[in-house]
Amino acid sequence: MSAKAKAKGPIEGSAEVVVDHILLKSAHFERKNTRLIHELSNAQHPRYIAVGCSDSRVPIEDIFGAKLGESFTIRVAGTVLDIPEIGSIEYGVEHLGVGLILFIAHTNCGAVSAAQEVLKKESKDRRAKVPIKTPLDKTIKDIYENIKANPRNAHDLHSAIMDNANAEIRKLLSRSKVVRDAVKNGVLVVRLGVYETSTGALRFVK
């Protein structure tokens, strides 16, 4: 632990250690990628838009083996899209000319699991509802709406995860004329993949 970290309280000191470690890693990244950083300094030309969950076990760029500048990445809990995420995707399609969206779901998703618990409670008590008190509650409610039509989703997490992912892709196509028109005109492809958190395997299902 650095002297600066020791001089602080336990929480601040721990944060200082983490920040110091990140800065060391960042310096190594800078040295390793000096030429590529310089080449990309004025413009970006990503090969694909990657849309995935915030889960720390699903680092999309690492899973894809992506180099700096290859992935235009949007990550959000439960892969639930709202205005900022859809706007980011539209920027990638319309302004960066990206022709491929890779939508990545993953196993053992905590956000989908939370929505599944609500579905289980509702199957026992029709009065059970998702309380909306925080932004996280809103995310879980959105996932719940995506999975509630399929009775299987109350007990099959994988089924719920796939229904949620497919619903979010439909939402994207429904809400974004930019994305919808690009797909219709044959200049954009949307693929859905599933990452297995217990094995590290990635497969594409559509």
Express each pLDDT in 134-147 by its tens digit. Answer: 998 899 999 999 99
Q: Work out the angle at residue 199's Cα, subtended by the Cα atoms of residues 198 and 202, and round it to the nearest 5 degrees.
A: 110
pLDDT-based confidence at residue 133 (cuts at 50, 70, 90): confident
Tokens for 66, please give them: 């992506």
Residue-wise pLDDT tens digits, 149-182? 998 999 999 999 999 999 999 999 999 999 999 9
pLDDT-based confidence at residue 49 (cuts at 50, 70, 90): very high
The pLDDT value given to residue 77? 95
The pLDDT value given to residue 174? 97
What is the pTM for the complete model shown? 0.86
CB 95 within 8 A of CB 46: no
* CA distances (Å), origin 5, targets 11, 22, 27, 28, 191: 10, 14, 20, 22, 46
The pLDDT value given to residue 93? 97
In the predicted model, is pLDDT for residue 8 greater than 60? no
CATH 3.40.366.10 fits 44-204, yes or no: no
141 residue type, one letter: K
Name the helix (H) or strand (E) containing 202.
Answer: strand 202-204
- Catalytically active residues are 53, 55, 57, 106, 109
For 70, half-sphere exposure in the C-beta direction (CA atoms, 13 angstrom radius) is: 10
CB 155 within 8 A of CB 119: no
pLDDT-based confidence at residue 91 (cuts at 50, 70, 90): very high
The pLDDT value given to residue 54? 95
51 residue type, one letter: V
pLDDT-based confidence at residue 192 (cuts at 50, 70, 90): very high
Say which range, 41-45, 69-73, 103-107, 119-123, has the weakest mean pLDDT. Answer: 119-123
User: Average of pLDDT values for 70-99?
Assistant: 97
Q: What are phi and psi of 171, to 5 degrees?
A: -60, -45
In the predicted model, is pLDDT for residue 27 greater than 80? yes
Mean pLDDT of the chain: 90
